[in-house]
Amino acid sequence: MRRVPWWVPALIILATVGQLAVAQWVPGIERFEGKAFGARLVAYPLLMLVAPALWWLVARRRGRVERPPHGAFTLVMLPFLVDVTGNSLDLYDAVVWWDDLNHFANWLLLCAGLGLLLCGSVRPAWAVVVLVTGLGAALAIGWELGEWYTFIRHGTEAGTAYEDTLGDESLGTLGALVAGLLVARVHARP
């Protein structure tokens, strides 16, 4: 895999936090109302930093001085930027299929990054696919539980919630499966 410079994931975090700050603190932008941007302003940067922090802790514990996998970190962070940018551009309300595309593509990106971080020594290739797909399915369920708590429980999306949740979980799991296949192929290369 080609080396990604350190500033790429840093730029993704800055772009994400910048958009979240605008959504939270610039008054009068209706498309941001009721979308929990205050919570996202705290949660997204923390979630984006989990993979680098855990990598650093594990590398430090093992006494390794290897170069951080900035490419994998970038893949893990990109879904947060895509989500926030989709909201900033009002794509979730303006483009009917945007939410579905996001659940597939963002889980593909997230799980590809996680797979690159976690599956370097996992063999055989089918085990990589199963591990990445299972992790993606579990994360999709967790994400939908978070959406239920944030949006559905408080009544803003109660009418279409069940069908949307099942579709989102399915698309997220499918994205994770594709990520698993890609990661297995990357790790199978000599």
| Residue pLDDT, tens place only, 7-41 | 999 999 999 999 999 998 987 777 777 778 888 99
Q: Write down the domain spans for the chain.
A: 1-95, 97-190
| Residue pLDDT, tens place only, 52-108 | 999 999 988 888 778 899 999 999 999 999 999 999 999 988 999 999 999 999 999
Instruction: Give pLDDT, residue 161.
Output: 56
Structure tokens at 140: 């999709």
| Residue pLDDT, tens place only, 159-169 | 555 567 888 99
Residue 124, preceding peptide bond in cis (omega within 30° of 0):
yes
